[in-house]
Structure 1
Amino acid sequence: MTRRDSLALTLAGLGLTFSARAANATTMQNALQIIQAQIDNGTLHSAVLRVSRGHQVTEQAFGKAKVDSMFLLGSITKPLTAMAVMVLVDRGEIRLSDPAVKYLPEFSEGARKNITLEHLLTHTSGLPDQLADNNALRARHAPLAEFVKGAVSTPLLFSPGTKYHYQSMGILLAAEIVQRVAKTPLPEFLQEQVFTPLGMSRTVLGLGKFQKEDMVPMQTEHAAPEAGAGDPKAREWDWNSDYWRQLAAPWGGAHSTVDDLSKCLSSLMHPDGKVLREATARLMTQEHTPKLEAHRGIGFAVGPAGLGKGCSARTFGHAGSTGTLAWADPVTDTTFVLLTALPKNVSGALILDPVSGMVSTMS
């Protein structure tokens, strides 16, 4: 059976007219070809795409990858960290409206006392994305505790809640709060409370039981500035280094597969109580920043912007600078996960955006 035939069969059960099924099969084939073209010309080394709509699934590995290959997620780690926070919210142990200083007493100077957990998780706290000495910290293999210390004392960019500014350091402090409340390291907490209940057997924050060799190598010659920008001098702390793969940075250090991420997204579209109750899952995936320029849920972007031009306003998802994109659209019951080894500053325009755009417009 050819791949085109397989795609046609996949789409046949969707209750669509023959012409709509044919159009969707052609669209998916074109989307797959976008990825394959970059493999063929040597720009992309590895990628896996998984699209599910209802019970219908299309899954394809490219280049050196297998369908169950584990990729460095980059910032898709952020909503996973946010899920850990929401587990505690679900239990009533913390509230999104709680001031962060309640759990981080050292985080009390000036306007910091007004920053809530919700601010940390919606990128509205006023904290910067990265610390000014981020690269220096990584170059000397600083532990996460040093990043926390820096985030607690770094100057705020604006008054909490007044603006949107994407900020990894807010996610870091939210992770620190989870660890202090749960009295458990975040990688263990996520494993026990999120990954294992959802059957995400090949997802881990840091490396856990896996080895670096189990992970798809990044094409670091195209890395983002905060990850060394491809500088050979950064090889001891870039995305492929032992240091970064083991650090378990709660804003960018998780590894996963397309199947596991699809399970995670589906669990939020169709919560069954294994991790979060329905009301808590809805709270996480609804918009919390209606008066600001960015549409943010708890840990997620909400709406089509940056996810897929055909996505509904209820879509939630996230991209990663490592070359990753994942979203779910409850209106069409669709999950989309595309993991690549090519950093987003190259793969975004070449692969992630056009492939997601095509898939999101399917009938």
Structure 2
Amino acid sequence: MSIFSHDRGVLLLARGDELLVDRVAGVADEVTGAPCTSATRFQIASISKQMAAVAVLLLAERGTLRLTDPVVRWLPDPPPAWSGITLHHLLTHTSGLGHWEEHPAVDLVAPAEPDELLAAFAAVPPLFRPGAAWHYSSPGYVLLARTVERVTGRPYAEFLAEEVFAPLGMTDSFAGSGAGRPDVAVGHEGGRPVPSWDLATVSMGAGDVWCTGADLLTWLDVPRRGRLLGPSSVAAMIAPHAPTGRPGEAYGYGFFVGPLAGRRAVHHSGDNGGYKAFAAWLPEEDQRLVLLSNQAEVNPMAVTSVLDRATA
């Protein structure tokens, strides 16, 4: 059941509340030789978008914002081209904003001043009018995290720690830089350490969260058991709002919704420099699957073979 390149990372599979696969392998840091353990925190990359979506939904439930709000209401000096973009459009990747490849001027590794980062995003015209198409956009989720900060008057990472992670008991999870933190896996490519992307600003809301495997498995209880959010918010989060163009697949709020290994699933992968991640919940079988690796060569979608073996 080895799906890790060079056997580096964590793999968990649960059916109901029973853990069927619990595998930890390899080293967290090639330089020190520190091993990966169940306490090791990994960058979950774009799975972090789910935390941003939940933060926005929590604020919507509290009445401090609406998903129909134009994002320009919550941002400093927004460009006119963003005037028709709502929070719903950002959540579903239907805003027309580009992904990182459309923003070559943005350095994913170097720290950035927040308003300068927004200006860099604004310098690239939208690809289409809001709601007209689907195009995956990490910058759109950065805008959502900035919105959370503007609405609450609190740092985004602090809001996640106190309002999202703590109530769920995800005590080993955090957002932002891993510098100085214990039990943090170093990203590797070709067996060598690589610099981390900037998670404090550039990837805030889009790819900034660190989790243990157990914490990410717990996270899947948000859609699975309706934890943290009310029923209507959970339903909205995993509803097929926007077709992605792949057969049978749509995007909800922070989740892909569609077939996985031939079964209905809500899922997301993650790909930061030196890290790969995958998390999925299959409602009909009540299976949860988590893969975290600090090796760039891992193919997250290879975990579907684990699901096949578990039901064989």
TM-score range, shorter chain: 0.7 to 0.9
Secondary structure, in 3 states, of the residue corresponding to 1:114?
coil
Q: What residue identity is the alignment partner of 1:50?
A: L
Extract unaligned runs of 5+ from structure 1. Answer: 1-32, 223-229
Q: Give the match for residue 52 of structure 1.
A: 14
1:85 matched to 2:56? The reply is yes
Q: Which runs of 5+ in 2 are unaligned?
A: 28-35
- The whole-number CA distance in structure 2 between the counterparts of 1:311 and 1:146 is 43
Q: What residue in structure 2 maps to residue 319 of structure 1?
A: 269
Alpha-carbon distance in 2 for matches of 1:51, 1:76: 17
1:151·1:173 contact (CA, 8 Å) conserved in 2? Answer: no
Distance 1:182 1:360, change over 3 A: farther
Residues 287-321 of structure 1: CA distance to partner in whole angstroms, max 9, x if unpaired?
111486551000111112xxx32331xx2121011
CA positional deviation for 1:221: 4.4
More divergent stretch after superposition (212-221 vs 169-178): 212-221
Q: Of residues 119, 128, 131 in structure 2, which corresponds to 1:158? A: 128
The alpha-carbon deviation at position 154 of structure 1 amounts to: 2.6
What SS class does the counterpart of residue 196 from structure 1 fall into? helix
Alignment of 1:7-156 (within 5 A): 33-35=1-3, 38=4, 43-44=5-6, 46-57=8-19, 58-64=21-27, 65-104=36-75, 106-110=77-81, 112-130=82-100, 131-135=103-107, 138-139=109-110, 141-156=111-126
Structure having the higher Rg: 1
How big is each residue's C-alpha offset from its partner over 1:66-117, in whole Å with a ceiling of 9 and x where there is no partner?
122100111111111111111111212222222112222632413x211111
Q: Report how far residue 212 of structure 1 moved.
A: 4.4
Counterpart-to-counterpart distance in 2, 1:221 and 1:298? 34
Could you say what secondary structure the match of 2:168 adopts? coil
Matched residue, 2:251: 296
SS in 1 for 2:126: coil
The structure with more helix, counted as a fraction of residues: 1
AA aligned opposite 1:128: G
Distance 2:291 2:310 in 1: 16
TM-score, normalising length from structure 2?
A: 0.86
CA–CA distance in structure 1, aligned partners of residues 115 and 172 of structure 2: 26
Distance 2:303 2:109 in 1: 33
Distance 1:134 1:298, change over 3 A: same
Q: Distance in 1 between matches of 2:172 and 2:204?
A: 17
8 Å CA contact 1:144, 1:249 repeated in 2: no
Query: How far has the Cα of 1:144 moved from its partner?
Result: 3.5
- Whichever residue aligns with residue 24 of structure 2, its letter is A
Do 2:177 and 2:199's aligned partners in 1 also have CA atoms closer than 8 Å?
yes
Instruction: For residue 49 of structure 1, give the secondary structure of its aligned residue in structure 2.
Output: strand
SS in 1 for 2:307: helix
Q: Take 2:240 and 2:47, find their aligned partners in 1: how far apart are those partners?
A: 18
2:147 to 163, 168, 177: 177
Shift of 1:207: 4.0
Matches within 5 A, 1:273-352: 275-290=228-243, 295-304=250-259, 308-312=260-264, 315-321=265-271, 322-343=275-296, 346-348=297-299, 352=300
* Secondary structure at 1:134 match in 2: coil
Q: 1:357 to 1:107 in 2, by over 3 A?
A: farther
- Cα shift readout 1:122-160 (whole Å, capped 9, x = no counterpart): 11111111222112x744x32334222322343111111
Distance (Å, rounded) in 1 between the aligned partners of 2:173 and 2:128: 35
Taking every aligned residue pair, what percent have the same amino acid on both sides? 32
Counterpart position of 2:186: 217
> By percentage of residues, which structure has more strand?
2
AA matched with 2:57: M
| Secondary structure of the structure 1 residue equivalent to 2:24 | strand
Higher RCO by CA contacts (8 Å cutoff, separation 6 or greater): 2
Question: Are the counterparts in 2 of residues 34 and 355 from structure 1 also a CA contact under 8 Å?
Answer: no
Q: Distance in 2 between matches of 1:329 and 1:261?
A: 15
For the Cα contact (< 8 Å) 1:77–1:250, is it kept in 2?
yes
Report the secondary structure of 1:215's partner residue: coil
Q: Distance in 2 between matches of 1:291 and 1:283?
A: 17
